[in-house]
């Protein structure tokens, strides 16, 4: 995973509209039985109290590439189901990402009209340029970042099936 671009924004904002309830989106973000169905296909667990632990576990594919059992660590800062979740986010699957500072991740879920809900993900990657490039989808071999993950989440919630698989 090389080729960090010269400029990746330090605060990245992703917005997507999903034909699902805020509760369904909240569950898909915070429940391991959902998180293992999209994105990197690995479960994530939350203790949804301020100061509670967040862990995203490595998939078998990630482990085969040398990732530890826990691929991303964090702490819940704010939890207001099903509207807002603020947490720290620190990938530790390799030496380079583990060496960078902890980043801040915010999910905002807003109910709209006709059963369409707006999901805004704001990722403050200040001081973490490698992580910033990775989650922006700018690193070859590192996947499509938040854009790909959120597209997969949307597809799963709207069709019952992920983009791939």
Give residues with Cβ within 8 angstroms of 25, minimum separation 6.
18, 82, 109, 117, 119, 153, 157
Identify which of 20, 31, 38 has the alpha carbon closest to the alpha carbon of residue 144.
38
What are the pLDDT digits (tens) for 30-77?
A: 999 999 999 989 999 999 999 999 999 998 888 998 889 999 999 999
Domain 11-159 has CATH 3.30.1490.100: no
pLDDT of residue 36: 94
Q: Say yes or no to pLDDT of 144 above 90.
A: no
Q: Is the pLDDT of residue 1 over 60?
A: no
């Amino acid at each position: 995973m090389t080729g960090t671009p010269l400029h990746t924004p330090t605060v990245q904002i992703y917005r997507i509209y999903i034909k699902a309830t805020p509760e369904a989106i909240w569950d898909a973000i915070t429940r391991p039985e959902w998180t293992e169905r999209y994105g990197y296909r690995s479960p994530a667990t939350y203790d949804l109290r301020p100061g509670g632990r967040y862990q995203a576990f490595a998939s078998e594919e990630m482990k085969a590439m040398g990732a530890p059992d826990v691929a991303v660590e964090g702490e819940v800062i704010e939890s207001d189901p099903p509207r807002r979740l603020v947490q720290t986010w620190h990938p530790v699957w390799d030496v380079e990402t583990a060496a960078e500072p902890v980043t801040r991740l915010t999910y905002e879920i807003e109910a709209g009209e006709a059963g369409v809900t707006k999901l805004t993900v704001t990722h403050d990657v200040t001081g973490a340029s490698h992580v910033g490039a990775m989650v922006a989808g700018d690193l070859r071999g590192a996947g499509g970042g938040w854009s790909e993950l959120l597209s997969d989440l949307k597809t799963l919630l709207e069709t019952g099936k992920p983009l791939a698989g």
